[in-house]
A and B are shown apart, each in its own frame.
Chain A
Amino acid sequence: MSNFIFGRYLPLNSTVHRLDPRSKLLLSFCYLIVVFLANSWLSYAILIGFTLAAILSSKISLGFFLKGLRPMLWLIAFTVVVQLLFSPAGGHVYFHWTILNITQAGLVNSGVIFIRFLLIIMMSTLLTLSTQPLDIATGLSSLMRPLRWVRIPVDTLAMMLAIALRFVPTLMDEATKIMNAQRARGVDFGEGGLIKQAKSFIPLMVPLFMSAFNRAEDLSTAMEARGYRDSEHRSQYRILTWQRRDTMTWIVFLMVVAAMLATRRW
C-alpha cells in the first residue's frame, strides 16, 4: 500500500534530484501552461525533446515513467477515441457511420491530445520520482509564503503537512498490524460483495482511528514540552537554497519556451 504514494521517490544523485524543489515545482507548473500553448508539430517536437532531455538527465530508467503512465492509460485511451470519433468535419473523411466520423482533423486532434497527456504525465512523474515528499512539502510552503499577507496561516499548514507526512509510514505499519490481528480473529479483508468488503474494514478503521487520536494527543504534549507555541514564531532548520544549477535549468527552460513560441502557429 505504501508503494502507492510514497514508493515513488527514487533516491539517485542526478542534477534533477539536486535541483531546488521550489525550482522543480514552479517549472512543472509553467510547463503545464506551455504544453497547452504549443500547436504546431515542430513546437511539440521541441517540447518532446526537452522532456526527454530532462528524463535522461535524471538518470531514472524509462520503465518507471511507463509505470507512472499505467494508471492513466484508460483515461488517455478514452479521450483519444472520443476525439477521434466525434471531431468536427474537416479535411478528408476516412470513415463515416451515422454520427461517427473519422476525419483528418479528428486524427490530428487525437494525436495532439495524446502528446499533451504524455508530456504532462512524464513531467509530473519526473517531479515525484526525483523529489522527496518532504522536500515537495517544504518547497510548497516556501512558495506559498507570500500568502501570509492575506492572513493564510502558511507556517501552520506547512507544519501540519510535515507531521502528516511524518506519520504516514507509522500509521501504515499500524494498519498492517491491526489487519493481521483481526485476520487472526477471523476477519476476511477484501472478500465477498462490495457491502461485505466495506463492512470488513470497520474492525480496521475503528482501532486505527483510536490509536491515531491517542498518538495525536501524545504528540501534542511532547511538542509542548519541547517548547512549541505556534508555527509563526519559529526559526527554520531545513532551508532551501537556490543554486547555479537552478538558474541554468531556468535559462534552458526559457530558451525552450522561446523556441516553442517561435515555431507555433499564431
Chain B
Amino acid sequence: MENIIDVQHLSYRYQDTDGRPALDDISFTVKAGEWLALVGHNGSGKSTLARAVDGLLPFSEGTVTVGGIKLTPETVWEVREKIGMIFQNPDNQFVGATVEDDVAFGLENRQISRAEMVPRVKAALDEVGMQTFAQREPGALSGGQKQRVALAGIVAIAPDILILDEATSMLDPQGRRDMLALVQRLREEKHLTVISITHDIDEAASADRVLVIDDGKLVEEAQPAEIFAQGERLIHLGLDVPFTAKLKQALQDRGITVPTGYQTTTEMEEWLWQSLSNT
C-alpha cells in the first residue's frame, strides 16, 4: 500500500521555550488505511506532531507530504481537505449553536451550497447515531455525545485521514469504548487512515502500529503486542495503567495491604470507605 503521510526530518521549536526542540528530527510514514497510535508523556511532543502534519504549526525544518501533496503555506488548505481532526476538549471544538449547525461548520467553510449541505449534515448525523439531537444545544449533550458530533462534522467533509488528538481522554470509560467502536466502524466503512494520540491502553491496542515519542524524539516503533509485552515500562512510555491499579500500587508502596485482582472505581471506593471506617 502507498504511503498517505510521509514525514521526513521534522523539527519544531516553540518560540517561548528555552530552545529545546518540541520536535527533534522526526521521520515516519503512514500507509493508507493504517491505524497508527502515537503515545508518549504529557509534553513529549505528540500533539505538536499532529498539529504540524495538519499545517497548524509553521515548522521550518523537514518535510511533510500528505496524499502526495507537500505541505507548504500555499498548499495548507489543500492538505487540510484530506485531514479531519478531533481534539481533547469536547466543548472547545463545538463551534455551532446547535448540533446541526456544528456539523455544517466545515461545509460552510468549503462554501458548499445549502441544498447540498442539508442532506450531508443529515447523513453524517445518521452515521454517528445523533440524528435525534440535530436541534439540540451543546449544553444539553454529554462529553461523549459532543465528540460524536465532532466526528459527524468530519464525516460530512469526507477526509481520507482522521487524527484523534487525545479525543477520548476527557470521556468516561463507557464513552471511550463507544467512541472507539464508532471510529473502528467509520474507518472500515470510509477506508479512513487513523492517527490516534493517546494515553489509553485500549485505544493504543486498536492500532496496527504504535510510535512512542519522548522529548520530541521518536524512540520506538512497534506492534501494540510488542509494546504491551513490556509490562512495567508502559508507564514510562506514557500509557495509562488503570487508575485503580495505580492507586493500589501507591498504597502497597506505603505498606498497606490491598485486595488482589482488578477492582472497578466503585469497588475501590467501597473498599477505601470500609478500611477508613475500621481505623
Contacts and interface: CB of A to CB of B under 8 A. Distances in A.
A226 B139 contact: no
Q: Which secondary structure characterizes the binding site on chain A? A: helix
Interface string B178-211: 0000000000000000000000000000000000
Contacts of B77: 227, 229
Given A235-B117, A237-B121, A227 B81 contact: yes
A30 interface: no
A226 B95 contact: yes
A134 B97 contact: yes
Contact of A235 (B81, B95, B108, B121): B108
Interface in A175-219: 214-215, 218-219
Contacts of B51: 221
B160 interface: no
A5 interface: no
A144 interface: no
Interface stretch (A18-26, A36-44, A158-166, A255-263): A158-166
B51 to A, nearest CB: 7
B112 interface: yes
Contact of B95 (A134, A223, A233, A239): A223
Contact of B157 (A224, A227, A239): A227
Highest count of chain B CB atoms <10 Å: which of A222, A226, A236, A239: A226
Contacts of B275: none
Given A218-B89, A233-B111, A227 B106 contact: yes
A20 to B, nearest CB: 17
B217 interface: no
Interface string A145-176: 00000000000000000110110011001000
B112 A225 contact: no
Q: Which bucket holds chain B's interface residue count?
A: 35 or more
B109 A222 contact: no
B33 interface: no
Nearest to A238: B101
A165 B137 CA distance: 11
Contacts of B157: 226-227
Contacts of A238: 101, 104
A40 B254 CA distance: 88
A234 B111 contact: yes
B7 interface: no
B36 to A, nearest CB: 18
Contacts, number: 91
Contacts of B109: 226-229, 234
Contacts of B83: 225
Given A227-B109, A237-B114, A162 B97 contact: yes
A222 B87 contact: yes
A162 B108 CA distance: 14
A185 to B, nearest CB: 23
Nearest to A228: B109
B155 interface: no
Contacts of A237: 100-101, 104, 107-108, 114, 117-118, 121
A166 B138 contact: yes
B114 A235 contact: yes
A170 B143 CA distance: 13
Nearest to A159: B95
B240 to A, nearest CB: 22
Contacts of B89: 215, 218
A236 B93 CA distance: 19
Contacts of B108: 234-237
Interface of A: 134, 162-163, 165-166, 169-170, 173, 214-215, 218-219, 221-229, 233-239
Given A173-B139, A234-B108, 7 more contacts: A219-B93, A221-B56, A228-B109, A235-B108, A235-B114, A236-B108, A239-B114
Of all A-B residue pairs in the complex, the 6 with the closest CB atoms, nearest first, are: A237-B104, A218-B92, A222-B93, A227-B109, A225-B85, A226-B106
